[in-house]
């Protein structure tokens, strides 16, 4: 539709491909495709937010803490985001 941005249309199509139809039940949170979808959507939004004035500061709440001794370790690079319950 004309009122939906190309970015939103792309994500709406991807989400509808991954999520089950209404009435089919929910996917478990451990579903691989659902987890990949969530990670990709978060990456897309957070990459955009980093380019906007004052939004990067808000993302700091969700970043994982890194020890100064091993900032360059591959494990810590993979854990760029932290879970907040």
List residues bridging with 63 in a β-sheet.
Answer: 81
Give the C-alpha separation, 62 to 68, whole Å.
18
pTM listed for this prediction: 0.69
**Is the four-CA dihedral 67, 56, 85, 77 of positive or negative sign?**
negative
Q: Would you place residue 79 in the very low, low, confident or very high pLDDT band (cuts 50, 70, 90)?
A: low
User: Is the separation of the CB atoms in 58 and 49 below 8 Å?
Assistant: yes
Q: What is the mean pLDDT of the chain?
A: 79
More confident residue, 65 or 10: 10
């Amino acid at each position: 539709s004309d009122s939906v941005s190309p970015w939103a249309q792309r994500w709406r199509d991807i989400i509808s491909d991954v999520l089950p139809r209404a009435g089919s039940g929910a996917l478990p949170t451990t579903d691989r495709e659902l987890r990949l979808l969530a990670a990709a959507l978060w990456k897309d939004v957070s990459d955009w937010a980093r380019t906007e004035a004052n939004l990067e500061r808000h993302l700091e709440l969700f970043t994982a803490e890194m020890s100064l001794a091993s900032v360059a370790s591959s494990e810590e690079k993979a854990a760029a985001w932290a879970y907040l319950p």
